[in-house]
């Protein structure tokens, strides 16, 4: 009986050695831009056990987009950090008893479904062996685009727009919320922004959009026929490979 008790105690003690709180810093970084933090509502993070899909931790990144000089203007050297004390992160605290292979998933922007991207990576996590500092960084590609004009499912009389410029307006930002300007750090001159118009399901015309103020792009065309219209606005940066799209449908009636 004593031998059994000692054996059980030994097993409990060996298990407790592994059952150590393990912390992982997780960050979401916009491609060609800064970190995704509180100003954009945060990126949503889920850490899963890949074996049984159990969620071990979840939550939003919180903090600032980071230091622009450090992230965008300082040449990167191995071992150097690009995150400072206030840079957005999610601190996952895992309760694991043995080395566990996990999947880290990031969903961002969490509040802009049409622009939301999912990125993930997998790694071994060992009890008590924290991953801190810059931590696990996942890159989120894209642009966030909001078509401002015309409005979704807006009914517009042909008489009100015929022989007048039909305006197209869109707000475009980087995936971290960083601003786009002409000749700015995120330069509109390096981006192709166009509106693609469909009428009654068929491609009708394309309209170039130009920046008129920070993040705001505009263009215009002529509407001469009634119909069911779809507007697709896209942004494309050949240098970074970033792309983004938003769509609206509206109706022109006689």
Instruction: Report the alpha-carbon distance of residue 12 to residue 217 in Å, rounded.
Output: 64
Instruction: Say which CATH architecture domain 14-140 belongs to.
Output: Sandwich (2.60)
What mean pLDDT is predicted for residues 142-148? 98
What DSSP string runs through 221-241?
Answer: E---S-EEEEEEEEEEETTTT
What mean pLDDT is predicted for residues 63-85? 95
Q: What is the CA radius of gyration of the chain?
A: 25
The predicted-structure confidence for 156-186, as pLDDT tens digits, reads as follows 999 999 999 999 999 999 999 999 999 999 9
Per-residue pLDDT at 76: 87
Position 116 confidence tier, pLDDT thresholds 50, 70, 90:
very high
What mean pLDDT is predicted for residues 66-82? 94
Per-residue pLDDT at 18: 56
Per-residue pLDDT at 13: 47
Per-residue pLDDT at 5: 53
Per-residue pLDDT at 181: 98
Average of per-residue pLDDT values in the chain: 94
Instruction: Say which CATH architecture domain 143-253 belongs to.
Output: Sandwich (2.60)
Q: Which residues contact 141 (CB under 8 A, 6 or more apart)?
A: 30, 31, 117, 175, 241, 242, 243
Contact yes or no for 194/225 (Cβ under 8 A): no
The answer to whether the 14-140 and 143-253 domains have the same CATH topology is yes
What mean pLDDT is predicted for residues 225-242? 97
Per-residue pLDDT at 20: 84
Position 14 confidence tier, pLDDT thresholds 50, 70, 90:
very low
Contact yes or no for 47/58 (Cβ under 8 A): yes
The predicted-structure confidence for 202-233, as pLDDT tens digits, reads as follows 999 999 999 999 999 999 999 999 999 999 99
Domain boundaries, the chain: 14-140, 143-253
Report pTM. 0.89
């Amino acid at each position: 009986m004593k031998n059994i008790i000692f054996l059980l105690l030994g097993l409990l003690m060996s298990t407790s050695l592994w059952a150590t709180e393990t912390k992982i810093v997780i960050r979401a970084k916009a491609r060609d831009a800064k970190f995704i933090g509180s100003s954009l509502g945060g990126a949503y993070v889920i850490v899963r056990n890949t074996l049984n899909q159990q969620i071990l931790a979840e939550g939003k990144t919180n903090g600032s987009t980071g230091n622009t000089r450090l992230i965008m203007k300082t040449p990167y050297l191995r071992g150097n950090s690009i995150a400072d004390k206030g840079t957005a992160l999610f601190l996952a605290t895992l309760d694991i008893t043995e080395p566990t292979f996990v999947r880290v998933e990031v969903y961002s922007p969490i509040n802009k479904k049409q622009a939301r991207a999912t990125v993930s990576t997998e790694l071994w996590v060992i009890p008590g062996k924290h991953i801190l500092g810059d931590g696990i960084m996942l890159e989120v590609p894209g642009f966030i685009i909001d078509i401002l004009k015309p409005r979704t499912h807006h009914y517009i009389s042909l008489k009100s727009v015929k022989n007048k410029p039909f305006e197209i307006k869109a707000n475009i930002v980087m995936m971290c919320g960083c601003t786009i300007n002409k000749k700015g750090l995120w330069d509109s001159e390096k981006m192709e922004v166009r509106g693609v118009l469909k009428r009654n399901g068929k491609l009708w015309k394309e309209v170039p959009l130009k920046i008129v103020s920070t993040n705001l792009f505009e263009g215009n065309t002529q509407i001469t026929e009634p119909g069911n219209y779809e507007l697709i606005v896209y942004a494309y940066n050949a240098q970074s490979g970033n792309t983004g799209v938003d769509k609206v449908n509206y109706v022109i009636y006689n």
